[in-house]
Copies of this chain bind each other. A is one copy, B any other.
Amino acid sequence: MTLDAEPLDRAACQAMDAADPLASLRDRFDLPEGLIYLDGNSLGAMPKDAAARAHDVVTREWGTGLIKSWNSAGWFDLPVRLGDKLAPLIGAAPGEVVVCDSTSQNLFKVLSAAVALRPDRRVLILEGSNFPTNNYIAEGVAAATGGRVEVRLCEKDEIAEAIDEDTIAVAITHVHYKSGHVHDMAAITARAHAAGALSIWDLCHSAGAMPVDLNGAGVDFAVGCTYKYLNGGPGSPAFLFAARRHQGQALQPVTGWWGHAAPFAFEPGYRPQQGIRQYLIGTQQILSMALAEVGLDIHLSADMGAIRTKSIALTDLFIRLVEQRCAGHGFTLASPRAAEARGSQVSFAHADGYPIMRALIAAGVVGDFRAPDTVRFGFTPLYVRFVDVWDAVDRLVAIMDGGIWKLPEHQVRDAVT
């Protein structure tokens, strides 16, 4: 997969697929015939085992097992069992991760915990251009303190300098949702700790796409979703990491019975679980959670180093082909060119990004558009092939060379097929 040594044609891409150690994993997914799906960073594809698992959970676990499945089918322990499965993918230890709720809710919990852990400090630092819900949630956490805490939004290069003795925590998305740039988790965490601040990471765009080493970097808290690179299904539950040193207290304020030390003792007052379960609140959505396990299991059969190697090869190839074959069509790379600084996605800026993406989707290449001018493509190493990259660019070339994206919407589909 050394790109520069290969002549860039479709046969070369086929040869790369033939040499790909992850190639067989594509068979674990069901992808619509002819579709090139480069949006797994928004919603991952469906594992072939998903339908059978859903059927089993509905008919056997629910329909036949009924109430006793809370124990016999292990429903009650799913959040920690899946958390333990996910842990090695993100450099966490068993008992440090739960799968539950949504990323936004989990961020609320860990930001609230951080505020509780640093009662004499005032500032939460986030990346201003990040996916907005993180910043909205931080606003809400700050507002709940009645003005004691404030949110400071920085951009990438300002973050390290912004951290000082008044910083409660720096809470950053590891891979930027739009550009795909990767933050230096270890360096920012070290900088935060040196100032007595906490380090919180959102792994939505990195978990499953690249090696993450939370404990290696000394991270305090992390959150992320399972429906992107982990292929857990639409809105599948998120996850939450709390380093073991932060467990044992009622640090997160949504103190529901699933976080109680003895949830079935029905005690009158709240006593926090001593472990990661304090970050649970109430009853989990079992069907969605069970499906998340199907995606996780595929990941556990693959080597994360091999996933990263292929991810870099796919994104390098895409950048090179677009820049060569669409030269002169006005695309500007909006992701880092250096592979080590880039997640498993590639964005290009183009003034006509919206109609171009619409035409691409009509041509069977699914990426997405992010206002005002970004076309974004995600490359999930488990099921995207090198030949898909070739074919995607091939269709993009046809759309650009033929001016198809300029046609009225209703004519685009005829033109691309």
Query: A311 at the A/B interface (Cβ < 8 Å)?
Result: no
Interface string of A367-388 (1 = CB under 8 A from B): 0101100000000000000000
- One of B69, B103, B282 near A105 (C-beta < 8 A): B282
Starting from the known contacts A32-B64, A131-B257, 18 additional A-B residue pairs (CB-CB under 8 Å) come to: A46-B58, A51-B58, A51-B63, A54-B54, A54-B58, A57-B234, A58-B233, A61-B234, A62-B233, A105-B254, A132-B268, A136-B256, A139-B269, A143-B250, A227-B283, A235-B284, A235-B285, A266-B370
Contact B137 A254 (CB under 8 A): yes
In this complex, how many residues of chain A approach chain B with their Cβ under 8 Å: the count is: 82
- Residues of A at the B interface (CB closer than 8 Å) are 30, 32, 35, 37, 39, 42-43, 45-46, 50-51, 54-55, 57-59, 61-64, 66-70, 75, 101-105, 108, 112, 128, 131-133, 135-137, 139-141, 143-144, 153, 225, 227, 233-238, 250, 253-258, 260, 265-270, 281-289, 291, 366, 368, 370-371
Given contacts A104-B256, A137-B255, A254-B140, contact A235 B283 (CB under 8 A): yes
Given contacts A135-B268, A257-B104, contact A286 B235 (CB under 8 A): yes
- Interface hub of A144, A227, A236 (most chain B Cβ within 10 A): A144
Contact B287 A233 (CB under 8 A): yes
Chain B residue at minimal CB-CB distance from A135 = B268
Contact A62 B39 (CB under 8 A): no
Chain B residues with CB under 8 Å of A257's CB are 104, 131-133, 136
Measured CB to CB, the closest approach of chain B to A164, in angstroms, equals 22
For the complex of A and B, list the 7 residue pairs with the smallest distance between their C-beta atoms, beginning with the closest: A104-B282, A102-B282, A104-B256, A140-B255, A285-B288, A133-B257, A234-B286
Chain B residues with CB under 8 Å of A66's CB are 32, 35, 37, 39, 43, 45-46, 366
Given contacts A255-B137, A256-B137, contact A225 B283 (CB under 8 A): yes
Whole-angstrom distance between the alpha carbons of A105 and B131 in the complex?
23
Contact B225 A105 (CB under 8 A): no
- One of B58, B139, B234, B235 near A50 (C-beta < 8 A): B58
Taking the full assembly, how many copies of this chain does it contain?
A: 2
Whole-angstrom distance between the alpha carbons of A368 and B137 in the complex?
39
Chain B residues with CB under 8 Å of A287's CB are 54, 233-236, 285, 287-288, 291
Chain B residue at minimal CB-CB distance from A109 = B254
Chain B residues with CB under 8 Å of A265's CB are 371
Chain B residue at minimal CB-CB distance from A283 = B235
Chain B residue at minimal CB-CB distance from A137 = B256
Contact B153 A268 (CB under 8 A): yes
- Interface hub of A59, A269, A286 (most chain B Cβ within 10 A): A286
* 24 A-B pairs whose Cβ atoms sit less than 8 Å apart in the complex: A30-B63, A43-B62, A43-B67, A45-B63, A46-B58, A46-B63, A62-B234, A75-B234, A102-B256, A102-B282, A104-B281, A105-B254, A128-B268, A131-B266, A132-B257, A133-B256, A133-B257, A133-B282, A135-B268, A136-B256, A235-B287, A238-B282, A285-B287, A285-B289
Whole-angstrom distance between the alpha carbons of A43 and B58 in the complex?
13
Given contacts A104-B282, A282-B102, A291-B287, contact A132 B234 (CB under 8 A): no
- One of B59, B135, B270 near A139 (C-beta < 8 A): B270
Whole-angstrom distance between the alpha carbons of A225 and B267 in the complex?
22
Whole-angstrom distance between the alpha carbons of A208 and B145 in the complex?
38
Contact B67 A139 (CB under 8 A): no
Chain B residue at minimal CB-CB distance from A106 = B282
Chain B residue at minimal CB-CB distance from A112 = B144
Chain B residues with CB under 8 Å of A371's CB are 265-266
Contact A253 B75 (CB under 8 A): no
- Interface hub of A139, A250, A257, A287 (most chain B Cβ within 10 A): A287
Whole-angstrom distance between the alpha carbons of A247 and B143 in the complex?
18
